[in-house]
Amino acid sequence: MIKFSQFFQSSIGRKLIMSMTGLFLCLFLIVHLGGNLTLFAGDEGYAFNIYAHFMTHFLPVEIISYGLYISILIHAFYALVLTVKNSQARPVKYAVAPKTPVKWASLNMGLLGSIIFLFLIIHMSNFWARYKFMDGTYREYRKELLTGGKLTSTVYEPVSPDFEYAVTTENNVEIVRAKDLYAIVAHSFSLWWYSLLYLVAMVAVSYHLYHGFQSAFRTAGMVHKRYTPIIQFTGIWLFAVIIPLAFASMPIVFYIKSLL
């Protein structure tokens, strides 16, 4: 019987780890997209800044987030190992170039993964690290509770250097004071080079998931004539088309707004 440690050092074990961490990251993409779509709420960042504070200060979410970071590192490490192993097994490249997107994606998962990993480092340092550890601007939102409508927004200067977030109510007016991650996003996407980098990364994500999502289920042995077409449809249209396009729309919209 193969020992537990030996199994995860085997080719099948490595691929299974890649599959499980990859599917976990796919689930995260759905949640992350749902939160990021609040950027389009047209409320000067009210919903997005509340979402950002919740995601970085609610303990269960923080624990899951650190699990996510570990999954990214594990996924990247085993991807590197498998890429090197595959390269050693086939030192001579294919004589005929792949003619289908799925075949091209399959043969270039290492390249696509490297682009995505580099993007994640830049993306995390630009948004998450700046928001979490660096001083930034704050915003105060006032919303009338009785009418449920009028919302005003102004820059807020914290009295205490330790201030992070506050929600109070005065005369049926909800007052939310929060760090303004929305302003950081708007500024980043006003830079043409960052928006272009983001779009290139989304193309890489699209191709990566085009092959990776379906491959993860096959590696896990989840192959069935009834369910495989559903997995293929979900992998292509949800993860390789809809999600990357939705993420790509953010830098496009904000960059255009910065030009107006």
Give me the pLDDT at residue 2, please.
Answer: 54
Q: For residues 13 and 78, give the distance between their C-alpha atoms in angstroms, rounded to a whole number.
A: 10
Q: What Cα–Cα distance (Å) separates residue 47 from each residue in 110, 157, 184? A: 37, 20, 15
pLDDT given for residue 7 in this prediction: 64
For 183-250, what is the HEC assignment? HHHHHHCCCHHHHHHHHHHHHHHHHHHHHHHHHHHHHCCCCCCCCHHHHHHHHHHHHHHHHHHHHHHH
Give domain limits for the chain. 4-135+181-259, 138-179
d(CA 50, CA 141): 11
Q: What is the pLDDT of residue 3?
A: 63
Q: Helices in the chain by DSSP H: which ranges?
A: 4-7, 11-36, 46-57, 59-89, 101-107, 109-123, 129-133, 181-188, 192-219, 228-233, 243-259
Residue 144, both tokens: 């009338």
Task: Give this prediction's pTM.
Answer: 0.86
- Residue 242 CA: distances (Å) to CA of 68, 127, 221, 257: 22, 23, 26, 22
pLDDT value of residue 26: 92
Q: What is the pLDDT of residues 109-133, one digit of tens each?
A: 778 888 999 999 999 998 988 888 8
Per-residue model confidence (pLDDT) at position 154: 94
Q: Which residues of the chain have pLDDT under 70?
A: 1-9, 86-107
Q: What is the pLDDT of residue 4?
A: 59
